[in-house]
């Protein structure tokens, strides 16, 4: 007898204004062909067999989401985010049971693949420790000063780009993000708060096309990456 696989909640911070994108609307509502960035990301999670629901964190003044068509809207819980990404994540975490494992993923990363979501979940289930998708640095890395002059070359052998989703137990993540913020730590991703608290966080090598749409040139790149992905990788 095969037992049903455990299903998880995904938490999508989507409450940003996309200032670096320099667009007239928040970047998560820019189009990637027939769908917006937000719809593309959301659908990837709603169609993944191991995701049972999505907590979608929107800007308090968001007036775009309600106009979107979304498959399985009953699986989406919408709520308002906060000033920083970490505040929006905390708002979503407040809705989850403390012992629930949650995948936190930037809505601005629409190229996430099912294979990477599955790989992250498998790692966490095997280790019972938090983990993040990441990609090894492949360029020589330089540290620069305020005048954009090289200070030194940073050994890249152990450097990774932190991606999302990042998967942790909701209660521990909530407590450690709150504690790190109260100590003035810049919590730019979930792992930074967990590392700060002394937790082991595992790195799961993910696809390099799981980019965050941040600057104007990223939009066409994301659209091309998506055009190269096969259906079973994203829907």
Cβ-count burial of 163 within 10 angstroms (0-12 exposed, 13-18 middle, 19+ buried)?
buried
Q: Based on the shown chain and the rule CB under 6 A, indicate whether residue 59 belongs to the binding site for ligand LQXTBERG.
A: no
What angle, rounded to 10 degrees, do the helices at 37-46 and 114-127 form? 50
Site for ligand LQXTBERG contains 221 (CB under 6 A): no
Nearer to ligand CTP, 55 or 57 (CB): 57
Pick 28 or 113: Cβ nearer ligand CTP: 28
Contact partner, 14, from ligand CTP, ligand LQXTBERG, none, Cβ < 5-8 Å per class: ligand CTP
Binders of ligand LQXTBERG in range 153-192 (CB under 6 A): 162, 164, 188-189
User: How many other CB atoms are found less than 10 A from the CB of residue 30?
Assistant: 21
Quote the CA–CA distance of 135 and 84 in Å, as a whole number: 24
Shorter beta-carbon distance to ligand LQXTBERG: residue 20 or 142: 20
Per CB under 6 A, does 212 bind ligand LQXTBERG? yes
Q: For residues 139 and 231, give the distance between their C-alpha atoms in angstroms, rounded to a whole number.
A: 31
* Nearer CB in complex with ligand CTP: 80/127: 80
First to last CA, the chain: 28
User: What gap in Å lies between CA 114 and CA 229, rounded to an integer?
Assistant: 11
Site for ligand LQXTBERG, rule CB under 6 A:
85, 106, 162, 164, 188-189, 212, 214
């Amino acid at each position: 007898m095969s037992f049903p696989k455990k299903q998880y909640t995904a938490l999508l911070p989507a409450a940003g204004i996309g200032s670096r994108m320099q667009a007239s609307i928040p970047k998560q509502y820019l189009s990637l062909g027939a769908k917006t960035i937000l719809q593309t990301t959301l659908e990837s999670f709603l169609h993944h067999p191991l995701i049972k629901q999505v907590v979608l964190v929107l800007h308090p003044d968001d007036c775009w989401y309600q106009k979107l068509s979304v498959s399985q809207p009953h699986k989406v819980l919408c709520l308002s985010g906060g000033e920083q990404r970490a505040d929006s994540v905390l708002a979503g975490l407040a809705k989850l049971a403390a012992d629930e494992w949650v995948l936190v993923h930037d809505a601005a990363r629409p190229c996430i693949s099912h294979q990477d979501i599955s790989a992250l979940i498998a790692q966490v289930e095997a280790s019972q420790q938090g983990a993040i998708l990441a990609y090894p640095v492949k360029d020589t890395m330089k540290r620069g000063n305020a005048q954009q002059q090289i200070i030194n070359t940073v050994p890249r052998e152990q450097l990774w780009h932190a991606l999302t989703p990042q998967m942790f137990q909701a209660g521990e993540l909530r407590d450690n993000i709150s504690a790190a913020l109260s100590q003035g730590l810049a919590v730019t991703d979930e792992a930074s708060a967990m590392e700060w608290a002394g937790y082991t966080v595992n790195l799961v090598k993910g696809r390099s096309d799981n980019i965050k749409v941040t600057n104007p040139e990223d939009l066409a790149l994301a659209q091309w990456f998506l055009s190269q992905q096969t259906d079973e990788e994203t829907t």
